Structure 1
């Protein structure tokens, strides 16, 4: 077995030297919006320092031919980088730069050199065509036109949602900044390429790199620097004290880096920390060292904040009042963690003896601590709680701000800036109303409720969170959740002729497919109800488990014999109102009830010139004069001997020859051509222009 390792910039990796293939045994693409948003934010921060490389880890590859390599480690990053490059290409209008970006993800081919034109990265069989069509070959308009029931796998859904996230973020950048970002990405972002010709050997390399010879963590580095500042007589005692504090947090490098990054934000009030080792030392450790008081850093800062971190990780086991536990549980529902520094600050400043090793932090003695450090119950003291009302109010306002930011798809930088601003004002002992970081404006309210009213462009976890909030508001208390809990559609994704939903107009089904009124919490899962086509069967399966009936909005389905569009409208109105009440965003400054307004009325007027990934409707394109009512579109399929014709209606639909009307081009294409068809197949009969190009013209019209 031969092994080769070399560090290369991205521009030398996405070339004809490498054809990446994801083996069938690899897991699917699992990155969430938070993962890819953080990558984009980190790269945006890094590109402000041109000439300073950004190391993105290693790729472990098995040579499977002259230039073909199986990817053993690095799939998530390769797919995410391809998405970023695809979006940069979509937003670019310089033909030369478009070609350069395109060459990074699609091999243009060279007949003289015997190189076939094909994507540089091939996914697992189930997802490869989807990724190739929409991302690598650049049909982003088709991707944005997809609805949830057009998507066949979780990996494809992650690809679609993450592409939207990246598009919305990069579209905000001025053209020159975005081009500088692209240049930095290609020339300064580096990876170590580890190649071997043996699959078993590659797995051994993966094990070694991930499980053996673990490099120093941030905790190791800061411990060494801190203990060195302590007098020799106390050095051993405080080395042990450090271990007692940090061992319960575990030894995962990313977790420890996040912990120290949060402490850095709490002390420095700086939202961004790109060089943790240097900046933590300068902003946090150095002031203690100057005062020759690093022992105070360990006892008065590190210890209480480490215990606050542990409480946040295991809130239901904490020795705290139920209402405080409930708020921490609610915060842990979020996939984002930018709220953690504020919650840590609030706990540390509300429990006087939180850093004391003898404090009974958890209800069960020794819970979540290494065996060697467990203390008997009689030796522990109770937490010295003070100003519990303020602690509760801070956590409630923090959860509210986190929820609104999540609905409004704020970037990691915006969320972290909010946390830094909040702690700055908390340190000044401001009231909740005076804390700028916890302020929710009328614009925030309207935008959040518009997202609730409209099609939910969120992850399954966020959908579940929203329904939990609505159900708990309706119940008036925190509901104990079963281990398995899902937000499931009441209406099936695919409606067949014998379904009770088949009598609904297609436009009505299309309207409700991705709205919160069509969702209910249940212990059942997607697979268990996927084949159930009638409302009665789906309802009964959702209610089969007694745990599902704990949620009042689910339990009330038992009293609904027949589901109609009016049923879903009622549930939509009630759910939006409950969430608005939960977060106290129902009324604006003039006491207008925003929860009763339509999505269109709530939408905040966008005065920016940045395009977004929001789905473009036929009606919008008609209003802009880019399509004409009554004109025809055609989809020719000469190999199958088929020709489909659609007419654009004045109401913003596509009407087929059989009279059926569809509200999106993708829905029309899939109705006649199958699941692989999309927006890009349609062409105008007047000039042969692809409909996807018309959509792109509309999306980018403001630039």
Structure 2
């Protein structure tokens, strides 16, 4: 077996865009840098250049990182970009913007870095960077062509994909910032970028070696992601004639979910297969247990696509069916209110299996919301949560009776008792669950018709935590009664605004009139309306209300 030579060489940007002709393979993710990353790059370049007048050759160099290439022929400029397309694309945008703001001959010099031409043959004209097919023509038309940047201002972003929107917004950001510089400053910056900014170019003739470098760089915390590596590995195993179609499927899923949630999807898929907490890196366990490259087309068609569709509907609360859809989406909404996402893998798995069976979905998600709520109310630790959901995944896969008493989907008698105990205790002091419980309760009191679209919802005490010594509250409650009732469920209400520290001294009637109601004189919350209907607030009233509210939650969660 012949050894594969790996070369790493430092190049000026002038050399990078003269000695290479870059192509972005189909399996690469779309251009993802936003104005945040692009803006940071430009600010770093301007800061590194500084405002001194020393010759450019004497300015400290600026290192832009490394790129990984597959270069099959050493004597040819052609190179596939395995890692570095974000930087190369952003640098191309920057060079194109600077070209529009500089006069000849400097503008012409930048054009030579953007495209390779033959002065004796007008038909030979090749751009230094060719994006993947989905964005290549757009990039040529609006960035690489000499008059392209001027067309971007009038281009509507509404119909653009995320990658094209990023290209447009980054170009306009550069244009706006560079227009604020003088002609001399722009020219000096251009000289600095092409002569004193460097990339380390890592190249190999071998595809597998390039992927290995790609993976190592990812593990070292650079800007690659789990999905990037998996995409390279999976799409790389598909026949050339089908690569483009499957790369598009992959990209469409990422665009629909958004880059961050797309990353989460792979951790959820790993959990569906592994059914336990990760003991090694997510990437390593994904390869080991999911084995996506064994049958790459099947992985995309039968696993990635249906699981992504289910995850999208759960996240967007967007299940569609002529039966039960509203109730199922309400349950998605409550599950999303929880302070963890450990319930998502069984939700994805079951929804993908039973998508066209809404009655079964309603039954399952009613039970899953009950289980997930019970778990957070008891403050079960992460290891126990993952173990429980792992058992539920196994039960779903094995087609066990999910509604039997001993099913991991069901709460045990002891768990139900623990939940009631927590609900009967000082609920207000458990910050991570109090708002969720009160909103869930309020929705039940409203027959599920309440909507919560307020920018702020706060939890407030009726009997205040620290009443003034001359307050009517002090004469109405003993110290022991205040300690017993102040933080309990029966003494809590919801407000659609931030708390008012001055309101703690209001007596009951004034609180009702000035604090618990809106400008229209009513409350948008059923819980708070209950309190407004009371003429007085005493230990006996709180006791009755506590029991009534507990009874409602017992019915909601079958406790």
Aligned partner of 2:536 in structure 1 is 562
How does 1:39-438 map onto structure 2 within 5 Å? 215-252=223-260, 255-284=261-290, 286=291, 288-290=292-294, 293-315=295-317, 317-320=318-321, 321-351=325-355, 386-434=356-404, 436-438=407-409
The number of equivalent residue pairs is 332
Structure 1: distance between partners of 2:450 and 2:492:
18
Structure 1: distance between partners of 2:554 and 2:368:
15
- Relative to total residues, which structure has the larger helix share, 1 or 2? 2
Is it true that 1:443 corresponds to 2:414 in the alignment? yes
Aligned counterpart in structure 1 of residue 450 of structure 2, from 479, 489, 504:
479
* 1:433 partner SS: coil
Aligned partner of 1:203 in structure 2 is none
Q: Which moved more, 1:538-547 or 1:472-481?
A: 538-547
Is it true that 1:506 corresponds to 2:508 in the alignment? no
Deviation at 1:396, TM superposition (A): 0.8
Deviation at 1:257, TM superposition (A): 4.2
> Whose Rg is larger?
2
Is it true that 1:551 corresponds to 2:559 in the alignment? no
Aligned partner of 1:366 in structure 2 is none
Deviation at 1:530, TM superposition (A): 4.2
Contact 1:408/1:451 (CA < 8 Å) preserved in 2? yes
Deviation at 1:532, TM superposition (A): 4.1
Structure 2: distance between partners of 1:223 and 1:547:
57
Deviation at 1:395, TM superposition (A): 0.6
Aligned counterpart in structure 1 of residue 461 of structure 2, from 485, 489, 495:
489
Query: Which structure 2 residue ranges, 5 or more long, are not aligned?
Result: 1-220
Deviation at 1:411, TM superposition (A): 0.8
Structure 1 residues 459 and 311, CA gap change in structure 2 (3 angstroms): farther
Contact 2:402/2:408 (CA < 8 Å) preserved in 1? no
Deviation at 1:430, TM superposition (A): 2.3
State the superposition RMSD in angstroms: 2.2
- Cα deviation digits, residues 594-624 of structure 1 (max 9, x gap): xxxxxxxxxxxxxxxxxxxxxxxxxxxxxxx
Aligned partner of 2:437 in structure 1 is 466
Structure 1 residues 547 and 261, CA gap change in structure 2 (3 angstroms): farther
Aligned partner of 1:534 in structure 2 is 507
* 2:250 partner SS: helix
Contact 1:548/1:555 (CA < 8 Å) preserved in 2? yes
Contact 2:428/2:488 (CA < 8 Å) preserved in 1? no
Contact 1:455/1:515 (CA < 8 Å) preserved in 2? yes
Deviation at 1:226, TM superposition (A): 0.5
Structure 1 residues 545 and 517, CA gap change in structure 2 (3 angstroms): farther
Deviation at 1:339, TM superposition (A): 0.8
Contact 1:401/1:438 (CA < 8 Å) preserved in 2? yes
* 2:493 partner SS: strand
Contact 2:490/2:545 (CA < 8 Å) preserved in 1? yes
Deviation at 1:548, TM superposition (A): 6.8
- Cα deviation digits, residues 409-455 of structure 1 (max 9, x gap): 10111111111111211112223223722121111011111111112
Contact 2:428/2:434 (CA < 8 Å) preserved in 1? no
Query: Which structure 1 residue ranges, 5 or more long, are not aligned?
Result: 1-212, 352-385, 586-703
Structure 1 residues 403 and 458, CA gap change in structure 2 (3 angstroms): farther
Aligned partner of 2:183 in structure 1 is none
State the 4+ residue runs in structure 1 displaced beyond 6 angstroms: none
Deviation at 1:499, TM superposition (A): 2.2
Contact 2:429/2:487 (CA < 8 Å) preserved in 1? no
TM-score for the superposition, normalised by structure 1:
0.45
Structure 1 residues 476 and 335, CA gap change in structure 2 (3 angstroms): same
Structure 1 residues 490 and 238, CA gap change in structure 2 (3 angstroms): same
